[in-house]
Amino acid sequence: MVVITRDRYVVFQVISNEDLPALSSIKSKIWDEYQTIFGVNGTTGAGLFFDNYNEVEGTGIIRCEHKALSKLMVILSRITDINSTDIILIPLYTTGLVNKAKSYLKILEK
Amino acid sequence: MKNPVTFTSDSVLSCENYVSADNLRNLKLFSEIVKSLRINLLSVDDFNLDNVNELITSEEAQEYSVTSLVEICNKTVEEKFDLLNLKQTISDTIISAKFDTHIIISRKTLEEDSIENLKRKLSELRDNYEIIAVKSDDVKVLKWAAHDRRVDYISVNLMSSNLPIDEALCSLMKQHNKCFELILSPLLLSDYKGVSIAIRSGKKIFKIIGSTNTQFILTMKPESCYQLRNGIQIRYLAQLLDIPFNRSKMSVFDNQLLIALKNAMKLNKSNIVDGIKEDD
């Protein structure tokens, strides 16, 4: 049987009153939270991949499998701080096409 | 591919139904976050109608386009108004202003242990607040509150040790068109034991609410500005409590706006017909 995995691309924005965190800190925080809430098994099925992060604007794209989208959204909503810096991670736009996600990012960065 | 300008995710409206007045101390940060999250309806706790008017007219708030429901209604309402049309008009006004309008609603949460105290407080406060919610661990108090038309919500804390909700209360709430208000802030705790307790009791509560089809709304009750979440985020968080995404559609903006509008129109003296006096 052929199993087709469909990807979803979530455009997100980091909001903070202080310096924006580096991509590595955001990655590790999301992975940690995902493992704590949904377990190691859940994390392996998520297929998370971070791309196009702009440290000045605080915007980027997270890729995940379509079945893990709602779980990723839960995790993004749960995060309130990274390395003791208060932040909010806002999922701005979700799409199945990476080019569409990138063009949304371009509009944001204008 | 569609033209990128026509991305459709922009028209989701959000409400935060339980903002603490402390959050408004740093108005600049608060309004920046609220603007980024596109939360347009904000019920501020312990904030009466006079406080709302003071805030709206203050110099500090001038640059943030803050307004009240009564002010918007006075601009849009005609002689004979229909609540659903009015709600649609207000939603359209917010969207046409590119989510830049923030409506402040006055709210009071009563935490009373006896029915007598609750009666006394309600008669004192009913004209000063647009929204009145009741929070208690006693089922008798909640059942009395469910009957009373001055009460709008019954707040449910996910961290309380005993659940004061049963099917009889849900049926009463449904009969009197009242909503439960589920506070989701415990789901953001960094203490995982607390999160686990909140999810467990939240699932139990929704099992009862869902089985009786009682109306409910979802709110964050943020302790700081960084705990504010928009409607979509709240709906996803609620999935941890086994609340399906499609069941929570009306629980993050529409129900709140309808109830607040109904009360704002009641409190607006010009809409009370001569010869009708409501009992306290």
Task: Record the tokens describing residue B203, joined without a space.
Answer: 């699932």
DSSP letters spanning B230-246: -HHHHHHHHGGGT--GG
B4–A78: do the CB atoms touch at under 8 Å?
Answer: no
Q: Is the pLDDT of residue B278 over 80?
A: no
What is the average pLDDT score of chain B? 86
> Is A1 inside any structural domain?
no
Closest by CA position to A77, among listed B97, B220, B52, B258: B220
**CB proximity B37 to A under 8 Å:** yes
Q: Is the pLDDT of residue B265 over 60?
A: yes
**Residue B275: which pLDDT band, with cuts at 50, 70 and 90?**
low
> Is A53 inside any structural domain?
yes
**Contact residues on chain A for B239, CB-CB shorter than 8 A:** 70, 74
Q: How does pLDDT run across B58-107, given as a tens digit for each residue?
A: 888 888 888 888 888 777 766 566 788 888 888 888 887 778 888 999 99
Mean pLDDT, to the nearest integer, of B258-273? 77
Domain that holds residue A65: 7-109
Q: How does pLDDT run across B23-47, given as a tens digit for each residue?
A: 888 888 998 999 889 899 999 999 9
Question: Which amino acid is present at A45?
Answer: G
The helix (H) or strand (E) run that includes residue B49 is: helix B49-57
The answer to which of A38-52, B90-104, B112-126, B232-246 has the lowest mean pLDDT is: B90-104
> Is A2 inside any structural domain?
no
Q: How many helices (H) and strands (E) does chain B have?
A: 10, 8
> Is A51 inside any structural domain?
yes
pLDDT score of B8: 47
CA neighbours within 13 Å on the CB side: how many for A7?
Answer: 15
Question: Which amino acid is present at B214?
Answer: T
**Contact residues on chain B for A106, CB-CB shorter than 8 A:** 4
A94–B37: do the CB atoms touch at under 8 Å?
Answer: no
Length of chain B: 280
**CB proximity B236 to A under 8 Å:** yes
Contact predicate B135/B110, CB 8 Å: yes
Q: Beta strands of B81-176 (E only): which ranges? A: 102-110, 131-134, 153-157
pLDDT score of B80: 60
**CB proximity B245 to A under 8 Å:** yes
Q: Per residue, what are the HEC states of chain A?
A: CCCCCCEEEEEEEEECCCCCCCHHHHHHHHHHHHHHHHHHHHHHCCCCEEEEEECCCCEEEEEEEHHHHHHHHHHHHHCCEECCEECEEEEEEEECCHHHHHHHHHHHHC
B236–A104: do the CB atoms touch at under 8 Å?
Answer: no
**CB proximity A84 to B under 8 Å:** no
Mean pLDDT, to the nearest integer, of B111-135? 92
| Helices B83-96, B69-76: crossing angle, 10 deg rounding | 100
DSSP letters spanning B209-232: HHHHT--EEEE---SSGGG---HH
Mean pLDDT, to the nearest integer, of B18-25? 88
pLDDT score of B90: 85
The larger pLDDT score, comparing residue B91 to residue B111, is at B111
**Contact residues on chain A for B227, CB-CB shorter than 8 A:** 80
Mean pLDDT, to the nearest integer, of B205-222? 94
**CB proximity B162 to A under 8 Å:** no
pLDDT score of B3: 44
Topology of domain B12-268, per CATH? TIM Barrel (3.20.20)
Task: Record the tokens describing residue A7, joined without a space.
Answer: 């990807």
**Residue B1: which pLDDT band, with cuts at 50, 70 and 90?**
very low
Closest by CA position to B130, among listed B154, B150, B157: B150
Domain boundaries of chain B, sorted by first residue: 12-268
Task: Record the tokens describing residue B213, joined without a space.
Answer: 């089809």
Output the domain CATH number for residue A31.
3.30.70.3250
B87, β-bridge pairs: none
> Is A80 inside any structural domain?
yes
B1–A86: do the CB atoms touch at under 8 Å?
Answer: no
Mean pLDDT by 10 residues, chain A (110 residues): 87 92 95 94 92 92 95 95 93 93 88
**CB proximity B237 to A under 8 Å:** yes
A70–B236: do the CB atoms touch at under 8 Å?
Answer: yes
Question: Which amino acid is present at B172?
Answer: L
A104–B7: do the CB atoms touch at under 8 Å?
Answer: yes
Number of domains in chain A: 1
Q: How does pLDDT run across B148-191, given as a tens digit for each residue?
A: 989 999 999 898 878 888 999 999 999 999 999 999 999 998 88
**Strand B153-157 versus strand B179-183 pairing type:** parallel
* CB contact burial B133-158 (16+ within 10 A = b; e otherwise): bbbbeeeebbbbbbebebbbbbbbbb
**CB proximity A109 to B under 8 Å:** no
